[in-house]
Structure 1
Amino acid sequence: MLAVLEEERQALAGLDLDAIVGATNDKNRLCGTLDSAEALELDEECRGMLESARRLNEVNRQVRNIIAANVSRRLDALTGGPQLYRAGATYSVAASRA
Structure 2
Amino acid sequence: MVAALETERQALAGLDLDQIMASSLEKNGLCDALSSANPAEVDDECRGLLEAARRLNEVNRQVRNLIAANVSARLDALVGSPQLYRATPAYAYAGAR
- Specify if TM > 0.5: yes
Q: Which residue identity lines up with residue 21 of structure 1 in the other structure?
A: M
- 2:21 is the alignment partner of 1:18: no
Q: 2:93 is matched with which residue?
A: none
Q: In the alignment, which residue of structure 1 is the partner of 2:95? A: none
Mapping 1:18-97, distance limit 5 Å: 18-86=18-86
Q: Of Structure 1 and Structure 2, which has the larger fraction of its residues in helix?
A: 1
The structure number with the bigger radius of gyration is 1
Runs (5+) with no aligned partner, structure 2: 88-97
Which residue matches 1:3? 3
- Following superposition, the deviation at residue 83 of structure 1 comes to 1.1
Q: How many residues align?
A: 87
Q: Which runs of 5+ in 1 are unaligned?
A: 88-98
Q: TM-score, normalised by structure 2?
A: 0.85
Identity %: 71
Structure 1: distance between partners of 2:79 and 2:23 = 31
In structure 1, distance between residues paired with 2:86 and 2:47: 41
List, as ranges, runs of 4+ consecutive aligned residues in structure 1 with deviation greater than 4 Å. Answer: none
